[in-house]
Structure 1
Amino acid sequence: MSHEAVDGFVERNRLWARLGGAVANHPEPLSTPIAVVDLDAFDANADDLARRAGGKPVRVASKSLRVPALVARALAHDGFSGVLAYTVAEALHLHGSGISDDVVVAYPSVDPGALARLTSSEAAAAAITLMVDDVAHLDAVDAARPSPGVVVRVAVDVDAGLRLGSQHVGPKRSPLYDAAAVTALAREVVARPGFVLVGAMTYEGQVAGVPDDVPGQRTKSLLVRRLKQASVSQLEVRRREVVDALAGLADLEFWNGGGSGSVESTVADPVVTEVAAGSGLLVPGLFDHYQSFSPRPAAFFGLRVSRKPSPALATVHGGGLIASGPVGDDRAPIPWAPPGLHLTGLEGAGEVQTPLTGHPAAMLAIGELVWFRHAKSGELFEHVNDVHLVRGDRIVETVPSYRGLGHAW
């Protein structure tokens, strides 16, 4: 085993003892799943994202947090400004609760109730920017308006995928690809009363969200890095074409791009004025293997051993917190501390129980905690009402998730 692997095992054993101590030291017994965020790791990750952004502001991607106190904590760090929300209802909550007066909704909305609330408030409409990529999105806003007096801020979502002939590599988001298509929609926005075009967005998920330094996958990782380089180069050209085409139509306030895995390449493009990031604050399992940064996991959930089917097995209660996306082993939670535990091939992570193998399983007693990492970032907090913020071996604060506040965005 390499020195790095040995150091990693030692650190994970220390984490097991530290988080277990934090739970034991808490004055009230905690029910599982116990969601914790290590504040030292969170703050260090925030500082690292700001450093990687090289002076351009980092907009907090709230989908990757889903805990208002953590969104506010990120915004309090130097280098962070504004929120990238994922629904209009969430954006209204963030603005109404005073967390941010600069919220961009990353996805187009056709939610009539939320749009009606937005267009009923001049203050909210001045603080929240909607994303559009079709005239139908403008129609949805107009249909929900109680009156025409409130001006709505909008940004255009430009497809950031890599085009290789007829192939498209990247998230299937916007139908707007070239400058002509973007300009056509921009003209519709500018000409329509009650709207103002203030920004643009390109999310290069095939760069930001794909690991490119996976152990044991040298050939695949090399291919991924080459595709990323090609995508970055192609996107720089297209961004410049689009911004030049829009120059006579609107004075854009911002151009948003990137994600936690592509901060450096995104901010290197002079067209981009800000970068979005969220997963890099918590570093879930899918963000372990990037060349651009070293992982510093900050979010964990704890489950108690509830039975011992055999001396070599330990079964925890619950565990089936599976991440969204294409079905595969990489979407399962990772048994993290103590190190050396593994899911079984037959049962995997189950809704009501998860059997674990590996040498620590024999030593675990009924009632002891095992700590897991979720594969994706904010999705963990859809499963808990409370999030315990840990510093050292103490829980220093317990805060609600969106779910804990009664919200399901």
Structure 2
Amino acid sequence: MSTLPLARRLQNVETSAIRELFKLLGKPGIISFAGGFPDSAMFDVEGLRQASAKALAEEPGGALQYGATEGYEPLRTELAAFMRAKGVRDIGPEGLVVTTGSQQALDLLGKTLVDPGDKVIVEGPTFLATIQCFRLYGAEVISAPIDAHGVQTDSLEQLMAQHRPKFVYLIPTFGNPSGALLGLERRRKVLELAVKYQTLVVEDDPYGDLYFGEAPPPSILALTNEVPGSRELVVHCGSLSKVLSPGLRVGWLIAPHELLGKAVMCKQFSDAHTSTFAQATAAQYLKSGRMPGTLRQVRRAYAQRAQAMGDALQRELGDAIEFTQPRGGLFFWARLTGAGGRIQDAGEFARRAIEQGVAFVPGAPFFATEPDASALRLSFATADVGRIDEGMARLKKAL
């Protein structure tokens, strides 16, 4: 037992089960479907090299000096244009704050919104770090059920009516870990519920540009112009990590004016500002016009890998597993069925899989409440088709 005078709030959180799993991945020859990060082979290294060189050549002081907490003005301008191109009509550079990845945006929301004992509704399952973050600030985190089409809005309304949460947190477009895509009508319904119950909705959107065929519906933020009274009830978190480079640590937060101001204040206490060099590089990259081409390349590669993984899961595991083929993002979300008396506990399956030289993440930690022990997450992002096929063959041996 520690003798240090640690804060009591640390008793509410545990070390990430995913990070703990990574400690097991040092075994030579392991094929990992466990990570939640993009393929480094997809990074536009030359484009980023040119962008950083241009940032240093054109405005070295701005790139290397301290900067505004709200963010580097040229980047905020480019990000506002990026969002307008995706249907958010009323956004300007003053309407967003640059964060150190969208993870910081979530932490800022925890700091500015959550008092101990407040209730927060999330999807079940949802991004594990979100559960940990909100619990750290004392929230009671409640899961709303989802299906392949995202959060079930009838159940969400029941939970909102019962618990009157401080806010609702959703990843509506190719969620982590679910891969689910919230349909257009459900998105409108979420906004209607926000207005009806006067409850903030936090939309986390790190994967929305990673679609494989038809583009997804407009973001919840973009749809606020269709639902009167909803604009001031929506918070939007964006990120360049999955589409450009996680190493840049560039994300952004769009929120009602008062909340944005409080978030800036809290960010001042945390890090003063996101790296100005990273921001200047990102600004030059977005300005260069290379992003559309990069996105086309990434979508093609991930679509091929997602199809290969779906085919291999069906071929190798058959009725022992059930899943919905993702239409974008980085993940498969699946359930072990136990058919034919085979294994149904994903934690035990993960241990057997490691012995066979393949890794994935058991799904239970992604639930704030009522975990599903049969669920698991597999990422196809960092494995080529050959390694996917070999990994699925190894998984079959672990059944």
- TM-score under structure 1 length normalisation: 0.28
Please identify the structure whose Cα radius of gyration is greater.
1
More strand by share: 1
- TM-score under structure 2 length normalisation: 0.29
Higher relative contact order (CA 8 A, sep 6+): 2
